[in-house]
Structure 1
């Protein structure tokens, strides 16, 4: 649960207080739209206006796990907004950022803060477990490198994926016993190949298999490794082994960053939609802010099972959250097209093609390993009708 305190006005201008209040209220509204995140109402949060209380006191009184506070300062047409997310129990700063923008950019700032909070809360969960779970580390330098890698990893761009790989590799050097650093370095290879960034998909998947085999042979058997193993079997086309490995991964526990979403990916591509929905919903119930991967995969399986209204809402949320990921457009176009909202599907695909003019149906199909080829054919038909060329 999150409490958004009234942002402080740092400029003694008559209308500045109204502006700061408006920013706080709009953030409450924007954050309330994020699935899996409970945001306390304005009435609850604004009761602490002009009161000398700490974030932990506010959290304790309101029952909030996190508190967002900040300040606003303007000068002419320039605006500075600072925001910080605080752990309601420990008082530790989970995330902080400063935004120097034009006054006209205030709405973009709201979106940036909302996205950053979801990411920060997701990272915070992994950090809290890092030194205490199998595969973790107790060395600060390794933890810091891994933490930076996570932040880069979850933006889903090609450049940041490679940056995450370098940071995970550094964490593994700093602590050779830090198994998860090795596992998530391999995950970046999987992500690179799966997302179409790779120039040699086979080599990237081979690296995943090599890491899994090496760690398994050394006696490692963590949930993170099992989830990676499952999706690697999927991309290698061994569907039965992928399913059994995914089932074992769910029993073993959640992946550090993705919950049980990797297992859900296997279930979706193997046509086991009910199993996928079950593990995705369980992931949503178990975290304070739903991971982006969970939103994406729940959108896809919702379209495939005919829950079109939910699919469109989820696809819109994913596109809004992860603006650098081309799957934001393709998922929304498919969700709208499958629902019969043809004009919206075509509009979305038109926007997509302006950004990715060389992208073709064959590019999309290359990264969609459905066990039943008829499923992929039906998706491609929807995408073709929306305007994605062969």
Structure 2
């Protein structure tokens, strides 16, 4: 019939779902269901109709809508997110329903009243990239709406989206004069976010230097158990933007914000820093440092200690004098390390072997100058560990390479016994040797050195030794310290829930993880096992196919069981059972 004829057309596709829906349903199923239906009937559906949208599907916590106009789709999305801010004003944070919305403009297939194709798939992937209460759009949507509405766009760079052949440039939407998102609750202890220091030098190549100053201050502050310090990834999200620091405090859930600038020229460096009470906007402290470059490390120590003194009046004197990470004595070695750190970040987003080799090259240059630089050995261990875990080159699953990663982590500890990240890297690797006691000891040592050191590597150690509940707590703390967390944190939460046989929670977190990193084979493998345990065999097989697409050599015994070392035999049997049910090769 004509109504069922396959057609193609250009449309704006709007996808929305509820952030943290599984968690909300787990805590209060009936209440969440009732509140969601009320939001849908009182806000979403009326706004969709008002702006000329055609509701394609509304199932569970999500909706799919088609608009003839990109501008209308964007107006509808902004109206919904503004409306939800108002509706959540008097709702406790743990009960708030917040939507994530993705909008794409592209070619779609229409059939039988439904819509399909890359135009729809891209919108769904954009929605998965959103923070709660946010809107993410494609470049086409930005081009068609940027001068027509009172909104601003933040370029989030190109993303390789699942099942989409080409990278997609993603933009996050700011609502102009929209009211701020509901504030995160302040922690019980003093809390601080360190924004990326502005590079005031004419040389754009010095950008990494300004970033390094900020990152070292974050690291210095993070060792104080009496401080709650926001992770670099979240605080650097505001880099290059003129922002209201009170809004930053609300969005990150901190009372204090540190901002500053760095100007480097010849053999001198000038650092300015100011501490602001984000609740009131009052400046609590400001200082300018103008000294020879050789004194820059003393300057960094002084900045961190001064901020700590303001925020923590009763910090132990001995702890105040300690430094978690002391940069090497030679400035050139630190330069090379920071270049390596920039290349390492690039690799983790691109998974290109050239970036991994560039990281190693800069680390080799740094160690040639300062052979005792512990942070270099830790990062070098990470580069070999990731090559051992993933089919990047001939290091994949090589026993020699795993031994090398362990040796490098031990070398880092030998040069700096107070480096938590070195213990995390060591434990993350020796767990593959079934040395469960030593791995647990390394994790506990990292936490003893710095209770704020929440890291996905520690989470894997704890679920591997049979403590998935603690693994979840650590990974969720990492997500709290870093609201814009990398995919590893939800991945570890998902795996831990799988081991607890909490499959619906596992599916939620694993889906979020692979939405952020669609080319990570192990995320797809665990999601395949989870779907199989839920009886969703079609979805399980689809995820198994993704694993084999990314790694045709994958097998349960030859790949997964080499990297997923579990202390309890029943945990391994449970994992293998799910992978086999999903159809992955033995």
**1:358 pairs with 2:444:** no
**1:158-191 deviation digits (Å, cap 9, x = unpaired):** 6654444334434545665643222111111122
SS of the equivalent of 1:29 reads strand
Q: For 1:1-390, list aligned pairs within 5 A.
A: 18=71, 21=74, 29-30=101-102, 33-34=128-129, 37-39=131-133, 68=154, 92=198, 121=233, 124=236, 134-136=325-327, 139-140=334-335, 142-156=337-351, 160-173=355-368, 178-195=373-390, 197=392, 198-199=395-396, 201-253=398-450, 259-362=454-557, 363-390=559-586
Q: Which has the higher strand share?
A: 2
**Secondary structure of the equivalent of 2:563?**
coil
Give, in angstroms, the shift of residue 17 of structure 1: 8.2
Alpha-carbon distance in 2 for matches of 1:188, 1:289: 23
For 1:204 and 1:262, how far apart are their aligned partners in 2? Answer: 18
CA distance 1:218–1:349, shift in 2 (3 Å): closer
Q: CA–CA distance in 2 between the matches of 1:314 and 1:185? A: 29
TM-score (norm 1): 0.67
Bigger-Rg structure (1/2): 2
Q: CA deviation at 1:305?
A: 0.7
Distance in 1 separating the partners of 2:335 and 2:358:
20
Mapped contact 1:292–1:318 kept (Cα < 8 A): yes
Does the 8 Å CA contact 1:150/1:164 hold for their aligned counterparts?
no
Cα 1:241–1:34, aligned 2, differ >3 Å: closer, same or farther?
A: same
C-alpha root-mean-square deviation of aligned residues, in Å?
Answer: 4.5
* Preserved contact between residue 194 and residue 235 of structure 2 (Cα < 8 Å): no
Q: 1:160 to 1:92 in 2, by over 3 A?
A: same
Report how far residue 222 of structure 1 moved.
Answer: 0.6
Displacement of 1:385 after TM fit? 1.7
Rounded Cα–Cα distance in structure 2 between residues aligned with 1:144 and 1:186: 17
Q: What is the CA–CA distance in structure 1 between the aligned matches of 2:195 and 2:234, rounded to whole Å? A: 17
| Per-residue Cα deviation, 1:327-366 (whole angstroms, up to 9, x for no partner) | 2321210111122222221232234335544322222222
Cα separation, 1, equivalents of 2:526 and 2:533? 10
Unaligned runs of 5+ in 1: 1-14, 56-66, 72-79, 94-118
Q: Is contact 2:478-2:485 (8 Å) kept?
A: yes
Query: Which segment is superposed worse, 278-287 or 366-375?
Result: 366-375
CA gap 1:226/1:267 in 2 versus in 1, 3 angstroms: same
Residues matched between the structures, number: 322
Deviation at 1:269, TM superposition (A): 0.9
- Deviation sequence 1:257-283 (CA, Å, 0-9, x none): xx4211111111111112111111211
Mapped to 1, the partners of 2:446 and 2:194 lie a distance apart of 32
TM-score, normalising length: structure 2: 0.46
Cα distance in 2 between the residues matched to 1:254 and 1:147: 26
Conserved 8 A contact 1:316-1:332? yes
SS in 1 for 2:342: helix
Residue 59 of structure 1 corresponds to: none
Residues 369/163 of structure 1: CA separation in 2 closer, same or farther (3 Å cut): farther
CA contact (8 A) 1:295 1:317 kept: yes
Asked if 2 retains the 8 angstrom alpha-carbon contact of 1:268 and 1:276, the reply is: yes
